[in-house]
Amino acid sequence: MGLLSLLVACGTADSARPARSAPTQVAPPREQTELYGIEEALRDALSGPWVHVGTGPWPGNARMQACAFRNERVIVVNAYCGVQDTEAVRLDVYSPSRGHVRIYAESKAPISVHVRRDYFTFTAESEPPPGRETEVAPLDLSMSFSQLYAYEQERYEAYLPACYGGVERQKERSGCLGPLASKAAAWGQQNGAFLERASDDWYRIVRELRLLAVRYGKDPK
């Protein structure tokens, strides 16, 4: 069992205790102007132990169940959280101060035993935190699973602008939508190496999500 899995087990027990009155700790804002970088999001996800928030249906994904976890910096969601290993994985990382990163990978066999060269689809996207003009309530790391679901539903329906890139069925795709259009080149430079080769942090998280899915996941009926 991986280190994060052991820490999650301990964190789950703690999460069953009565809620504390102290405010949720959030990492201080960082002096950065770029969109949330993919590798930055992975580092945040690995910055501390995960506590299981919940498992259940997820907006835009009627068939699969999702598992959500949190640490002191971010919320991590495995959108395809089934007990059985699948050919695809989708990771969503949510930061209150930095925004949202999504990574999707797909191969022809169970994804957890494959590497970047085996993926025929490997894409990622970044978007800033929702502004006041979106009428999407801010993300709070203390959200329950039902509150997180409601947040994601609002975010999903708001069609927020994002920058994206990678390969989809072996075809390259990239760009930035709406007001983020001017950031396309910078986003590609920031994240291109990861999309080309992936990273040790990515593979570590994929393995940990697989182990945790066996414990917390639910297969489609």
Q: SS3 for 196?
A: helix
Tens of pLDDT, residue by residue, the chain (221 residues): 454 544 454 444 333 333 333 434 444 444 345 899 999 999 999 999 999 999 999 998 878 999 999 999 999 999 999 999 999 999 999 999 999 999 999 999 999 999 999 999 999 999 999 988 888 989 999 999 999 999 999 998 988 999 999 999 889 999 999 999 999 999 999 999 999 999 999 999 999 999 999 999 999 87
Please name every residue paired with 165 in a beta bridge, in sequence order, or none if there are none: 124, 174
Closest CA to 117 of 164, 79, 167: 167
How far is 212 from 206, CA to CA, in rounded Å? 10
- In which order are the strands placed within the sheet that holds 99-106? 51-58, 61-70, 75-78, 88-95, 99-106, 121-127, 163-168, 171-176
First to last CA, the chain: 27
Q: Dihedral sign for Cα 46, 47, 48, 50, please.
A: negative
Residue 14 pLDDT: 39
Tell me the whole-structure pTM to 2 decimals.
0.85
15, 52 contact by CB (below 8 A): yes
pLDDT of residue 55: 97
Distance CA(50)–CA(22), nearest Å, equals 19
Q: What is the pLDDT of residue 201?
A: 98
CA distances, 192 to each of 167, 172, 186, 216 (Å): 11, 12, 10, 33
Q: What is the DSSP letter of 138?
A: P
Domain boundaries, the chain: 3-12+35-216
SS3 61: strand
How many of the other CB atoms lie within 10 Å of CB of 173?
12
pLDDT of amino acid 21 = 36
Structure tokens that stand for 116 in this block: 């970047």
The residue assigned the tokens 């994240």 is 191
Backbone angles phi, psi at 59, to 5 degrees: -55, 135
